[in-house]
Structure 1
């Protein structure tokens, strides 16, 4: 977009003219603790412009001085990753908890521009790409606060900023609401799994006889089997070499949700291979420790198999059910065994799949398994529906905002989206 294309009354301004760029604090290695004040790091800024606060490192309150006030974060803060593969990714902090900001992440604090308008501009695909290409150094992309400050954005008169901000807010609020619903549905499924298959408090358990096992007391008709007997690990899956097909990169897996996003189209058939109903688990550090796990439910009938990162472990149900396998992969017991089995050079350690094959797993009776599916399958389907709605909302937003910002579309011509109008297909 050239300067000549700006509508009348609009101006080009640098980010440094309209907001403060505040890089985070360089905490020392001795400062980190298991509990305390959570700190937002690069790893917490996600490719979907969100900030994942479910997996944060902490510093004890006593290491935080009054002089560190500018590094405290509040709900609605805008952050940008400055280093690494996620350099240029931005995130909107939606949590109202107390956080601190770590080095190599900067806060963009608007002072002479409407925050939601500014967010709408920099969170668009064009500026995400621009920020990433600012990063210098092939081995480790990195950009400075000064480079961010020098980036120019188009700024309309204040009233137009308010109109555009209201449109951005409408889209973002719908996306955030759907995201919260996804979190609730997934939490329901995980708690149900724990109640039924960890604590064995399933409906009617009071009437059932129990027996001793290596997992403690389990129902009389249930069995304890090795993982490889109930779940296929990296099963053989045929993916044709010809033509383009869906490919799942490591970045597409979430650390806290079953939803798989940011799919790519690639030719060939290299990497992990999978089909709908499979679970994908990251096997490399730090992705495994951070919880990267996904549920495959997005492949169309015309392409029933696909490929992904070579650093995935593929899990497929043999005698359980797909949903139970995913929830098992999210369980503390599975993750603890996987993490402890990791070997290799520091920073590139991987799970030894053979260390998982003998993991004891409970095999419920058929009736209980069917009852469990009746509860969790609707949860999984609803998560998928909401994820599709969010994908469409983001696509609409990304198509609309550049045209609004350039003046190609008049703000007054825009009808606000409603949740019920966003189709999930």
Structure 2
């Protein structure tokens, strides 16, 4: 059985870039498609007119699947109720035939090892891995279980995804709370006791009298790039690359193993601030190391910025995260070779509050930031468990046909 035999539609995207705007309908490109879910932070938005034009072939509906035709090739996510996306470049729309296959089950089937191995075999050896529409339509599927069993399998796996999604929402709220508190105290100057503060002139405008304007150089002990890695899948050491730094977070699951020689200063430690320093689109992204790591460094496209004392770790980390647009603007060089030099990072001016206030700020945000790490670790465990269970359920190794499973009503 091929994929097209269980689908009402398999539709390609428009082969041109949609004009974007600040608000509007989400335009789903390949970076927005994860393994079973959409990554909508920073998604491109389009107007009503563009949406109508880009959905002439088919308007995505709840329960439809959107697949990435290029890197990350083969990723699939299901359109949830309430989302009205259009297809960006190098994506395609799959509309399951509901009399034959339950949409969410098909999504899990397509991201499972069996189908993913077929997809990767189709694209192996190609300079830019790419799925042709013909290959997608003729994608071979294993025999499908009865629809009630499909729904049970989907319900089990969805329970993990629902927990993950709930934790992601909590993480977003906690991160916003910490960043908003930083802005309230150190940008808007609405810190405890601000009503009695006297403000004076400074190179950065009016600031509280006991505060000072300084540079990042003066509050850090180390600013430098990382190593040129020699990748080795058998090594235990990790090297962080620019893909690991996104949405103000450090994602070590995208780090690679290596066996390069590393000077002591280039091992990342708790409190280090990492800044992407090469290339338009990635340059300027910031994340802070907020856990103790062992044998982890960064490559030459990432800068390490190390606070000079412990009392300013939270303040400086959130200050530099808030400066992402500034760092992005500091890139210099030819297109494709844009670089953020360490001297330009170091010369950046910031407003520095007194030590007592930096400590007081840390007391407020440390618990929030630690809870973010805790929730992220829980999600990693949930993903691993789900991914171990997925092939066993899809293959029938774990038989759920006779289980009494409550299946929630949903649009799909």
Q: TM-score, normalising length from structure 2?
A: 0.84
Aligned equivalent of 2:299: 309
Q: How does 1:249-260 map to 2 (within 5 A)?
A: 249-255=241-247, 257=249, 259-260=251-252
Q: Give 1:34 shift.
A: 4.8
Offset of residue 94 of structure 1: 5.4
Do the aligned residues in 1 keep the contact of 2:27 with 2:86 (CA within 8 Å)? yes
Whole-Å separation in 1 of the counterparts to 2:275 and 2:67: 27
RMSD (Å), alpha carbons: 3.2
Cα–Cα, structure 1 residues 383 and 353, in superposed 2: closer, same or farther, change >3 Å? Answer: same
1:17 paired to 2:5: yes
Q: What are the ranges of 5 or more consecutive residues in structure 2 without an aligned counterpart?
A: 406-412
The count of corresponding residues between Structure 1 and Structure 2 is: 395
Q: 1:415 and 1:323 mapped to 2: Cα distance? A: 49
Q: Structure 1 residue 286: deviation in Å?
A: 3.7
Instruction: Decide whether the 8 Å contact of 2:239 with 2:257 is kept in 1.
Output: yes
Which whole-Å deviations, capped at 9, do the CAs of 1:294-320 have from their partners, x for residues lacking one? 3323545xx2x4123321122221246
- Please list every run of 5 or more consecutive structure 1 residues that lacks an aligned counterpart in the other structure: 1-12, 417-425
For residues 132 and 222 of structure 1, do their structure 2 counterparts lie closer, same or farther at Cα, with a shift above 3 Å needed?
farther
Deviation for aligned residue 1:198: 0.9
Q: CA deviation at 1:292?
A: 4.1
1:58 aligns with 2:45: yes
Report whether the alignment pairs 1:188 with 2:177: yes
2:122 counterpart of 1:134: yes
Structure 1 equivalent of residue 409 of structure 2: none
2:77 match: 91
Asked if 1:122 is matched to 2:110, the reply is: yes
The CA distance in 2 between the partners of 1:187 and 1:361, in whole Å, is 21
1:76 and 1:256 map into 2 onto residues whose CA distance is 31
Is 1:396 aligned to 2:385, yes or no?
yes
Partners of 2:277 and 2:302 within 8 A in 1:
yes
Distance change (3 Å), C-alpha of 1:110 and 1:251: farther
CA distance in 2, matches of 1:394, 1:356: 36
TM-score by length of 1: 0.82
1:337 — aligned with what? Answer: 326
Within the alignment, does 1:382 sit opposite 2:371 as a pair?
Answer: yes
Is the 1:23–1:103 Cα contact (8 Å) retained in structure 2? no
Distance 1:107 1:275, change over 3 A: farther
**Alpha carbons of structure 1 residues 215 and 238: separation in structure 2 relative to 1, 3 Å:** same
- 2:313 is the alignment partner of 1:322: yes
CA gap 1:41/1:237 in 2 versus in 1, 3 angstroms: closer
Cα distance in 1, alignment partners of residues 401 and 64 from structure 2: 28
What does the per-residue CA deviation read over 1:178-220, in whole Å, with 9 as the maximum and x for residues that have no partner? 1111111111111111111111111221122221112222121
Superposed displacement of residue 75, structure 1: 5.5
CA shift at 1:69, angstroms?
4.3
| 1:246/1:66 CA distance change after superposition, 3 Å | closer
Which range is displaced more, 313-322 or 183-192? 313-322
